[in-house]
Amino acid sequence: MSRLTRSAGLGLAVALGLGFTACSNQGPGDDPASDPASGKVTITYSNFISNGGNESNLADIVAAFNKDNPDIVVELETLPYADYFTALQTDLAAGSAADVFDIEYANYATYQANGALAALEGVDRSVYQPSLADAYATGGVQYALPSSFSNVVLFYNKDLFDAAGVAYPTADWTWADEKAAAEKIADPAAGVWGDYQPISYNEFYKAVAQAGGQFLNADASSVAFDSPAGLAAAEWLTQKSGTVMPTVEQGAGTPDFDSNLFSQGKLGLWHTGIWMFGSLADATFQWDIAVEPGDSRPASAMFSNALAVSADSQHKAEAQKWAEFMSSSRAMVDVRLRAGWELPPIADQSQLDAYLDAGQPANRQAVFDSLDAVVLAPSIGQNQAQMQDIVTEELTEAAAGRKSAEEAVQSAAQRVEPLLQR
């Protein structure tokens, strides 16, 4: 019996956008992806998920698929995340998107509403975690298949905790506990900091939920973070700067600053994603993870990717076969777990037991425990990126002392509200 906690939560946050290139609109008679002589069909798959180190792992999954499906050839195009969405947006507009392409939860509703995604037929939803499958379904129809998920947890340096005489984080921790520990650990004169949590939109909407509030109202027609919970969240984030956390002038917010700080053993607590496990393989200190503390309640952010079949694909059945294999096959599960490459979205928890015994961090169960209280990322369509930028900008002003937290929250609300009416 699996030791993993069964969970119904799903969430995710990320920037709005799209991305890729490929696939044809020719008729069946002149389709270059069909080869009647060989009996093989070629489908194209555009992705960002393997970029930056997992290209060979994706190739292994393709090889396993080809072994089971010798009549289907998968051609890959891998783009950096920073370029992917612009490319996909261009190709979708031109009707030349790949047969299968990566999407993110935050953008799913926009793609589906614009008719870019093919309706998938005969999907066995039971193989996926229910909440993940539900995230990519509309009106009872499955339009994409979850391919992976990852989430944010609280990393901590056990050596720094021991030196400060502070007990390690537990599942019962609150913001107050985190603050008290960070203050005892922090020693700026020695270059040691107690805490690091990005002052950003993605952290703010989660913190609002942890404080018992909502970022938007139920139908996303107006802001709801201009509330006591929103103010508490803004103060929680911004008041760390210059106290237990370095300021922007001291490097906070620059690329890899926080990961370098933690990997050098100079940071007690770190709010970041489980994708950072691999970067700490050579750490010279003891570290572990815990579920992120809440204020009035716990709330965790989860990020999810999915595979969609293009509505313009000439080979929808073959494309769906690949999407199902890439999202639910045992070969995919084995490769992901071996590589530490995010987590597969499967419902069979017993297949994931090996993940719990994969070494540091010891408390990998916290990854799954975090899913018991997930907060969905707000999604407003084409104005998503602008909304995120506004919130991050206002919080940054408060962290720098140029505005109070209350002024930043009110200003952000006033600027975001018109975006919801378009």
pLDDT of residue 353: 87
Q: What φ, ψ does residue 218 adopt, rounded to 5°? A: -60, -40
In a domain, residue 416? The reply is yes
The answer to whether position 14 is within a domain reads no
Q: How confident is the model at residue 18 (pLDDT cuts 50, 70, 90)?
A: very low
Of the residues 352, 369, 386, which one is the last residue of a structural domain? 369
Let me know whether 70 and 218 are in one domain: no
Condensed to tens digits (0 to 9), the pLDDT of residues 355-376 reads: 888 888 999 999 989 988 888 7
Rounded CA gap, 184 and 202, in Å?
A: 27
Query: The CATH number of the domain where 416 resides is what?
Result: 3.40.190.10
Question: 2 pLDDT band (50/70/90 cuts)?
Answer: very low
Instruction: Give the burial string for 411-421 (b: 16+ CB within 10 Å, else e).
Output: bbbebbeebbe
Please check whether residues 88 and 204 belong to one and the same domain: no
| Whether residues 34 and 143 fall in one domain | yes
Paired residues of 346 in beta bridges: 128
Q: Are residues 263 and 159 in the same domain?
A: yes
Report how many domains make up the chain.
2
Residue 202 domain-assigned (yes or no): yes
Q: What is the pLDDT of residues 133-171, one digit of tens each?
A: 998 999 999 999 999 988 899 999 999 999 999 999 999
* 127 in the same domain as 94: yes
Q: Are residues 286 and 247 in the same domain?
A: yes
> What tens digit of pLDDT does each residue of 377-420 get?
888 877 888 999 999 999 999 999 999 999 999 999 999 999 99
CA distance 363 to 333: 21
Say if residue 159 is in the same domain as residue 291. Answer: yes
pLDDT digits (tens, 9 = 90+) for 290-346: 999 999 999 999 889 999 999 999 999 999 999 999 999 999 999 998 887 889 999
Asked whether residue 415 is assigned to any structural domain, the reply reads yes
Positions of E strands within 215-368: 267-273, 287-290, 302-309
Distance of CA 86 to the CA centre of its chain: 19
Rounded CA-CA distance 385/357 in Å is: 38
The pTM assigned to this predicted structure is: 0.78
Task: Tell me the average pLDDT across 229-256.
Answer: 94
How crowded is the C-beta side of 96, counted as CA atoms within 13 Å?
7
Asked if 242 and 123 sit in the same domain, the reply is: no
395 within a domain of the structure (yes/no) = yes
Residue 5: inside a domain, yes or no? no
Residue 242 pLDDT > 90: yes
- The reply to whether 144 and 158 lie within a common domain is no
Q: What is the pLDDT of residue 36?
A: 56
Question: Using CB atoms within 10 A of its CB, is residue 254 exposed (0-12), middle (13-18) or buried (19+)?
Answer: exposed
The pLDDT score that the predictor gives to residue 19 is: 32
- Residue 333 and residue 285 share a domain: no
pLDDT: is 23 or 226 the higher one?
A: 226
Do both 232 and 332 map to the same domain? no
The domain of 347 spans 28-150+303-369
